[in-house]
Amino acid sequence: MKNAIGNWHVVLKATALLAVAGVTSNTYAQSDYPNRPIRLVTPAAPGGTTDILARLVGAKLTDALKQQVIVDNRASASGVVAAEIVANSPPDGYTLFVPYHQHTVNAALNPKLPYHAVDSFTPITQLTAAGLMLVVNPSTPVKTVKEFVEWTKSYKGALNFGSAGLGSGGHLAGELYNVTVGVKAQHIPYKGSGPALIDLVAGQYHYNFAGIQAAQTMVRAGKLRGLAVTNPKRIGSIPDMPAMSEVLPGFQLVGWYGVAAPAKLPRPILARLHAEVVKIMQVPDIRDRILADGSEVVVNSPEEFRKYMHADLAKWAKLVKESGAKLE
């Protein structure tokens, strides 16, 4: 009996020592963070808006953390591949993610994704917010949003709008316009905003809700006419262009970019990353670059970003249900 009790004491002592060792090791790993390069998974191909923002933030984060932050471009399946990689990675701070509005759009269009758009991740902070610009061919007989609404409602024949692709912000903005105004414009999906805008210049369809940076380039060149932005209010970089909501109250559609990690990221690492990224977004050259592209810098707490992502997912799900938008 004494031997049995003695053996149990040995087992309990060994278990306790292992537990303490595990906690100590984990605590040390967190306090020593980062001690190796960090992967920043980006759901976009090199050269696009998402990639450019990821590289801007990644370069500054490399300086701040004294470890290289390597951008890993995973553009397949509208960002689903990138999100799944991150969701299945260890929550140790060495795999980060640049989600953007397409991340929640994907979940609204496909509820059977192999991860949850919010709960499978640790939101760190939002980075930017950016609306879209309603653009038409200069030959279109409208110059204001009010005229555009009247024109689309009275148009005889098939009315079409283009976008960068199925499930894109431009696609859903067009569907939102259909629901709001009561028109039945047909969606023409393209493989990217470039081809879509080129065809609008050529008069192949009627209008497009395009990314502000790409649209503004065409507008300044006189190839397209910009009518309004989908931001809640006018933006500083183009103050003379009205917001859609000035004519259609409640019509707004704002895209966003942020930084996240796998779910259950330890709090000390989350706090470190949040503090560093927020500081980066206040750097003048970063802010100026973002503002010049028609976006706004938006940073928030991890909990605020989590709530924002949940609300964004609910918004897209409601629009998908009302409009009948599908990935086909």
Res 72 pLDDT > 50: yes
Task: Sort strands 225-229 and 132-136 into parallel, antiparallel or unpaired.
Answer: antiparallel
Q: How many residues does the chain have?
A: 328
User: Across residues 75-81, what is the average pLDDT?
Assistant: 86
User: Across residues 162-179, what is the average pLDDT?
Assistant: 91
Residue 320 CA to its chain's centroid (Å): 18
- Find which of 14-28, 140-154, 232-246 is predicted with most confidence, using mean pLDDT: 140-154
Tell me what pLDDT residue 9 has: 52
Which among 131, 130, 231, 244 is positioned nearest to 177, based on CA atoms? 244
Return the higher-pLDDT residue of 31 and 184: 184
Q: Judge whether 259 and 273 are in contact, CB under 8 Å.
A: yes
pLDDT band for 209, please (50, 70, 90 cuts).
very high
Res 325 pLDDT > 70: yes
Res 23 pLDDT > 50: no
Residue 96 C-beta-side C-alpha neighbours within 13 Å: 29
Which among 133, 286, 291, 102 is positioned nearest to 197, based on CA atoms? 133
Cα–Cα distance for residue pair 237/292, rounded to 1 Å: 7
User: Across residues 4-25, what is the average pLDDT?
Assistant: 49
Q: Positive or negative CA dihedral for 217, 219, 221, 224?
A: positive
**Domains and their CATH numbers in the chain:** 33-130+255-323 (3.40.190.150), 132-246 (3.40.190.10)
User: Across residues 201-228, what is the average pLDDT?
Assistant: 95
Strand segments, DSSP code E, in 110-204 are 121-130, 132-136, 160-163, 186-189
Res 194 pLDDT > 90: no
Res 73 pLDDT > 60: yes
Tell me what pLDDT residue 25 has: 43
Q: What is the pLDDT of residues 259-283, one digit of tens each?
A: 999 999 999 999 999 999 999 999 9
DSSP readout, 97-129?
E--BHHHHHHHHH-TT-SS-TTTTEEEEEEEEE
Tell me what pLDDT residue 2 has: 46
pLDDT band for 30, please (50, 70, 90 cuts).
low
Place of tokens 């300086």: 63
Res 48 pLDDT > 70: yes
- Find which of 25-34, 104-113, 248-257, 299-308 is predicted with most confidence, using mean pLDDT: 299-308
Percent of the chain with pLDDT over 70: 90
Res 320 pLDDT > 70: yes
Return the higher-pLDDT residue of 128 and 166: 128
Percent of the chain with pLDDT over 90: 70
Cα–Cα distance for residue pair 295/292, rounded to 1 Å: 7
Q: What is the pLDDT of residues 100-154, one digit of tens each?
A: 999 999 999 898 999 999 999 999 999 999 899 999 999 999 999 999 999 999 9
Cα–Cα distance for residue pair 14/194, rounded to 1 Å: 64
Residue 98 CA to its chain's centroid (Å): 7
Which among 107, 96, 99, 112 is positioned nearest to 262, based on CA atoms? 96
Phi, psi angles (nearest 5°) of residue 306: -60, -45
Place of tokens 């859903």: 172
Token pair, residue 55, equals 């590289």
Q: Judge whether 314 and 105 are in contact, CB under 8 Å.
A: no
Cα–Cα distance for residue pair 68/39, rounded to 1 Å: 9
Tell me what pLDDT residue 107 has: 94
DSSP annotation of 135 reads E
Cα–Cα distance for residue pair 43/103, rounded to 1 Å: 9
User: Across residues 228-233, what is the average pLDDT?
Assistant: 94
Tell me what pLDDT residue 327 has: 62
Its pTM stands at 0.79
